Amino acid sequence: MSEPLNCWKCGHTLEDMPMPLRRRDECPACGTDLHVCRMCEFYDTSVAKSCREPVAEEVTDKERANFCDYFRGRAGVEAAGGVAEAQAAQAELNALFGIDAKSGDASAGAETGSLVERKRAEADEARKQLDALFGKDEEG
């Protein structure tokens, strides 16, 4: 292999590991499983079952060791599996829904609460006007 493999989780180089990777091999730096779909050259999230190998059995957990006979280690795997992209996407969602990333609270919550109070006051006022129209006094 011209380019050494890196751990899919921490990015540690695996050039000292015997190849091909065995099912029970773990990263010497972080201890994560290495014979996983995320490390395979057939792994592709844009296709069905995230695998381009047409006859391989489906593996549901792509980050745990498996017995797939078609596994081939893939060089150039992104360390941490795109954590930066996931964090950026989460930040965009938080901004969209008005969620404070630190507390997890919706900043729009106060606005929603005041809207509810305003609607409740409007409903109370409408009820008073109806009662006045039909001659009901406020006591009964």
pLDDT for position 139: 55
Q: What is the rounded distance in angstroms from the CA atom of residue 97 to the CA atom of residue 18?
A: 48
Give me the mean pLDDT over the 69-89 stretch.
72
116 pLDDT band, cuts 50/70/90, is confident
Q: Which residue has the higher pLDDT, 76 or 109?
A: 76
Give 15-21 contacts, CB < 8 A, sequence gap 24+: 19/73, 20/71, 20/72, 20/73, 21/71, 21/73
Confidence of residue 1 (pLDDT cuts 50, 70, 90): very low
b/e 67-92 (16+ beta carbons within 10 angstroms → b): ebeebebbeebeeeeeeeeeeeeeee
Mean pLDDT of all residues in 91-109: 67
